[in-house]
């Protein structure tokens, strides 16, 4: 709340800033990637569609730099292999969005990489939604049974994400992945 539009780009696990109990107003210029799980107890009895729609409603109507990654298989504490696969791509997309500026176009290539990486693993399914401009969301489904793309009004897969990043950024993301694996005790 104190930072307002100066809030740095963020990956928000479990979409805490979009939860019904969140008290802060969504900054108009926030560059945010919400990671939400279909197996998260915070979803309660809501359908996945209702849970995602509720999060979308909490995004400032003038915001054009927010994405939501909803993974059906994700628990409240995300699986380390999911984070290992997705987190570098999520951070890469945020950095690309930040570079484009608040009036820039969404980082389509980086967002498609997120979808391709998760879909290509064969373990994850869900939806990737992002603002194309204020009030207009694009939905990309991935995984078994997914069916394409949709635009929503308000109410060979790439080998990896690092190829599109500056070498120093890619190196930092690899260190972050190793740290994540060390903390979680898994080899994703």
Q: In terms of pLDDT, which residue wins out, 44 or 175?
A: 44
The rounded mean pLDDT for the chain is 78
Q: pLDDT at position 173, please? A: 55
Distance between first and last Cα of the chain: 35
**185: pLDDT strictly greater than 50:** no
* CA geometry: angle 173, 178, 180, nearest 5 deg: 90
φ/ψ of 100, rounded to 5, equals -70, -20
Integer Cα distance of 97 and 114 in angstroms: 14
CB atoms within 10 A of CB 45: 6
Q: What are the pLDDT digits (tens) for 19-51?
A: 555 545 677 888 999 999 999 988 889 999 999
φ/ψ of 67, rounded to 5, equals -130, 150
Integer Cα distance of 121 and 93 in angstroms: 19
User: Percentage helix, strand, coil, to 5, in the chain?
Assistant: 40, 20, 40
pTM of the predicted protein model: 0.75
Average pLDDT of span 67-92: 94
Q: pLDDT at position 157, please? A: 32
Integer Cα distance of 155 and 73 in angstroms: 27
In sequence order, what are the residues at sequence separation of 6 or more whose Cβ sits closer than 8 angstroms to the Cβ of residue 156? Answer: none
* CA geometry: angle 67, 127, 19, nearest 5 deg: 55
């Amino acid at each position: 709340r104190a930072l307002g539009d100066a809030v740095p780009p963020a990956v928000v696990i479990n979409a805490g800033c979009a939860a019904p109990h969140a008290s802060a107003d969504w900054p108009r210029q926030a560059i945010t990637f919400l990671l939400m799980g279909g197996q998260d107890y915070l979803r309660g009895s809501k359908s996945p569609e209702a849970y995602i729609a509720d999060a979308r409603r909490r995004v400032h109507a003038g915001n054009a730099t927010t994405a939501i990654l909803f993974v059906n298989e994700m628990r409240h504490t995300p699986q380390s292999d999911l984070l290992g696969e997705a987190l570098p791509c999520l951070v890469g997309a945020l950095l690309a969005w930040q570079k484009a500026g608040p009036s820039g176009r969404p980082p389509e290539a980086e967002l498609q990489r997120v979808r391709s990486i998760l879909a290509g693993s064969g373990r994850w399914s869900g939806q990737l939604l992002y603002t194309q401009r204020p009030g207009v969301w694009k939905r990309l489904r991935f995984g078994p049974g997914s069916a394409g793309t949709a635009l929503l009004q308000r109410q060979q897969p790439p080998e990896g994400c690092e190829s599109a990043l500056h070498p120093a950024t890619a190196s930092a993301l690899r260190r972050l992945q190793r740290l994540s694996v060390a903390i979680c005790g898994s080899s994703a």
